[in-house]
Chain A
Amino acid sequence: MERLGRRDFLRALGLGSLAAVGGGSAWCAPIHEGSKVVDQGKAIARGGAAFIENGKVVQPRREIPVLRETDVLVVGGGTAGVVAALAAARAGVRVTLVERYGCFGGLWTAGLVLIVLATHVRAGGKHVKMVQGIGDEMLARIAKLKHGAINYGPDSRADATTDPEATKYVMAAMLREAGVDILLHSWVVNAIMDGASIQGVLLEGKSGCLAVKAKVVVDATGDGDVFDAAGAESVPHVHRIGLVHRLGNVPSGLDAKGLNLGVATPIPGVRWVNMQGPQGDCLDIEMLTQVELDAREAIWARLKEIQERPGYENVFLLDVASQLGVRASRTLVGIEELRLEDWRNNKTYPDVAGIGGSYSFLPGRGCPIPYGTLVPKRIDNLLAAGRCVAADNKMLNYTRLIAPCMLTGHAAGAAAALSVTSKVSPRNVDVAALRALLRQQKAYLG
């Protein structure tokens, strides 16, 4: 199918549907440079202004222009979303990836959580790589860049730490190489449903409200915004919300007692400093606002303390994360759930779609992640990936780590592609075929 150019499409829509949506401000005014008209301008798909009716704010009922029709739509360009989009695109289906900010990596990059935890198991002095396939390919490419990563590879006893810009750069490059259709600066706000089957999403952005239709949707929003909008069951959580920052010009070898100088990054003299922060509902914008404001003050107060210490006068605040460190908000109620008790009891699953590395409370051996944790109980054509997959309130402290996000992303992308090519709902995807595809994409499944 020959796709309409985005601009033509919007223009046609803006002009053609104005009457239908009943006025409003969706007016495409000519664009000026000085007094010269340089372009015709695009319609903003706002569908008319909201209005007051009986004292209540009402949005006009309107038709939403469809911006894309695709096979697999991945919502969220964080770790899980990017890996999911890559897995699906490499399996040969059309993929659109929607991201709310202007870069990829989510909390790994914009959130400045630079450490890649749970990639491997260290047993008997040996480093056994658990995250292989797309996730590891990404790490290897980042590590190849100058100042791209530290502690990567089997010789390292510490966990790999990457540079956020290198990570963003590699992610974008891999997505473009794989032919993924990318939509940045777009915030997905609702689901398009046909009964219990998701058909796509609505997104908001500078172009107004637009629809993206897809055969399968992968919710990699972290907060489960899509599956929640689709009516899937989920479990709400409160957790600590932090705000990470980086310090520059940090000298080494001086007495740092009592100072929190964080952890080394690939850039010499630059360290990233984690923050635990208060517990709260991460889906409440007032809470998020409060934390954002308070945390920035706290960071400056700590910086002052550091600068008052002899030898540290020239330490500066390099940057504060542009994304709050939300640890947990919603988890899916899936057809399977990752439980700490099950890991302890060595539970086996028939549908293992990835094995994560060891972590503080999962020491010594890997953690199998079953495909069922990505599949909603009731809603069709929908998969979850990343920190919102089905896990109990202990295991979500594992599934939220970057390596497990790579694994759930990889599994979700591969399954979404299989679902499209075999024309079955993700729930009914042949597990053997899924595992074969994941293996073909070099994933480690034990």
Chain B
Amino acid sequence: MRSWPGRSSGRLVLLVGLPLAVVLLPPAVVRVGLSALSPFLGLSSALAGRAAGITLVCSLPMTALVLWRRRFFCRFLCPMGWIVETCGKVRPGARYAYARIPRLGQWAVLLTLGGAIATCPLFLFLDPLALLAGAAGAGTHWAYAVAFAGIVAVSTILPGLWCARLCPLGGLQDLAVDLRGVLARRRIEPADGANPEGTPVARRAFIGLCGGAATGVLATRLPANTGTIPLRPPGAPDEATMTTLCVRCGSCVRVCPSGIIRPDLAPPDFTRLLLPTLSFAEGHCLDDCSRCGEACPTGAIAHLPVAAKNERPIGLARIDQKACLLSHEVECGVCVTMCKRNAIVEEFSKETYSVAVRVLEDQCNGCGACVAVCPPRAIHVEPTKR
């Protein structure tokens, strides 16, 4: 890992330039770039989705490259690697000291891929590129910033630890080369000389994959997993597909101009950690925007034209009649005013001589435009089965 771009000034340019590039480049470039650079994302999404999607296809050249040259990607291409190495040089005299730490990154890969077979990619969110993409940019959520800061802190205290031992993308490359060796019926010494007596790679792979698959099977059978449906961005598929396709890169979180998409930090179950969920507390899904779908690298959020996106229900607005001002004869009806789809109508009852607002279920797409404007907060969007 010493052959990374050497000059510290150049490194500084990269440090500033990379996050800037993620923000300034068109979402399409970031989207393709992310999949093209990470075989980890490509593999697990293909396994979990049972299909060779665009993510896998994009990642094939890089897969071939890392099989040919061990950790080529980490040395020359990984932006997180550049950042981590720079952090390692902040403390003069700091030394690489991770030899006795097990290769957690490899285990993360195996468990994730195993889980992916059971449609539940367990540690997909640890992908460094996804994390970096999530943390870069002004619109990011604090959870990504915290994760990124964590990696920076670890790398400053224990230089090189992240890349060599924790990073699943790095672990995948090591595994791939080791497995290539097994297939070629010859043993290849680990590059950094770590634990040559460790579990043989084939056994490691078997244990990891089986463990992951078992955990995945268990996790998807949890009672919570069958009941609750959180709100998801428009164009999201059913929960199982969402869990498998989403790489938790936070691209949708970052690009949403209303800031309503946030990583789920309190999911109904562990497998749905960091999936994008919606909060209409301060904004709503705009009717002239489909940027989340555009930014999604895996197609978990379908990239739909704006008009089609508007027809994909996020949920259904529900009005608490007891709290509604209109039913207390207070001048309001703001929800009726704000609904661009005319999905909220006033209904007058001659018996009580009063007005109530009602949601037309076939008109409402759950965009949430009525939620934040409601003075007594009497409206919430209820997720519908997708």
Contacts and interface: CB of A to CB of B under 8 A. Distances in A.
Nearest to A392: B337
Interface string A338-349: 001000000000
A122 interface: no
Contacts of A70: none
A361 B337 contact: yes
Given A260-B328, A294-B353, A340-B337, A277 B373 contact: no
B354 interface: yes
A361 B329 contact: no
A240 B325 CA distance: 15
A363 B354 CA distance: 27
A397 B348 contact: no
B18 interface: no
A138 B326 CA distance: 30
A360 B348 contact: no
A184 interface: no
A276 B334 CA distance: 13
Interface in A389-414: 394, 397
A151 interface: no
B331 interface: yes
Contacts of B338: 361, 394
B337 A273 contact: no
Interface string A260-279: 10100000000001111111
Interface residues of B, number: 18
A298 B349 CA distance: 12
B337 A394 contact: yes
A262 B331 CA distance: 11
Contact of B348 (A117, A260, A279, A361): A279
Nearest to B348: A278
Nearest to A297: B353
Contacts of B373: 360-361, 363
Contacts of B16: none
Contact of B353 (A273, A295, A361): A295
Interface in A287-336: 294-295, 297-298, 301
Interface in B329-385: 329-334, 337-338, 346, 348, 350, 353-355, 373, 375
A277 B333 contact: no
A394 B335 CA distance: 11
How many interface residues does chain A have, given as a range?
20 to 34
B346 A240 contact: yes
A301 B328 CA distance: 15
B354 A276 contact: yes
Interface in A139-193: none
Given A277-B353, A278-B348, A295-B353, A361 B328 contact: no
B331 to A, nearest CB: 6
A397 B333 contact: yes
Contacts of A360: 332, 334, 373, 375
B330 A274 contact: yes
Interface in B296-351: 326, 328-334, 337-338, 346, 348, 350
Nearest to B327: A276
A387 B328 CA distance: 24
Interface string A350-378: 00000000001101000000000000000
B326 A276 contact: yes
Task: Name the residue in B331, B346, B354 with the highest tally of chain A Cβ atoms < 10 Å from its Cβ.
Answer: B331
A298 B375 contact: no
A397 B337 contact: yes
A276 B357 CA distance: 12
A329 B82 CA distance: 67
A171 to B, nearest CB: 23
Contact of B329 (A273, A279, A340, A363): A273
Interface string A5-19: 000000000000000
Nearest to A301: B353
A90 B373 CA distance: 40
Nearest to A117: B331
A360 B353 CA distance: 24
Task: Name the residue in A260, A262, A274, A276 with the highest tally of chain B Cβ atoms < 10 Å from its Cβ.
Answer: A276
A240 B353 CA distance: 12
A89 to B, nearest CB: 32
A301 B331 CA distance: 21
Contacts of A277: 348, 353, 355
A242 B375 CA distance: 21
Nearest to B345: A279
B329 A260 contact: yes
A146 to B, nearest CB: 28
Contacts of B346: 240, 276, 279
A279 B329 CA distance: 14
A363 B372 CA distance: 11
A356 B375 CA distance: 20
A134 B331 CA distance: 26
Contacts of B354: 276
A397 B375 CA distance: 15
Contacts of A301: 353
Nearest to A262: B329
Contacts of A397: 333, 337
Nearest to A327: B331
A298 B346 CA distance: 19
Contacts of A275: 329, 353
A294 B373 CA distance: 32
A230 to B, nearest CB: 30
A297 B338 CA distance: 33
A361 B334 contact: yes
27 contacts: A240-B333, A242-B329, A260-B328, A274-B330, A274-B331, A275-B329, A275-B353, A276-B326, A276-B329, A276-B346, A276-B348, A276-B355, A277-B353, A277-B355, A279-B346, A295-B353, A297-B353, A298-B353, A340-B337, A360-B332, A360-B373, A360-B375, A361-B334, A361-B337, A361-B373, A363-B373, A394-B338
List 9 A-B pairs, minimum CB-CB distance, nearest first.
A298-B353, A276-B355, A278-B348, A361-B334, A394-B337, A274-B329, A360-B334, A361-B337, A260-B329
Given A240-B346, A276-B348, A361-B338, 12 more contacts: A240-B348, A240-B355, A273-B329, A275-B329, A276-B331, A277-B348, A278-B350, A297-B353, A363-B373, A394-B337, A394-B338, A397-B333
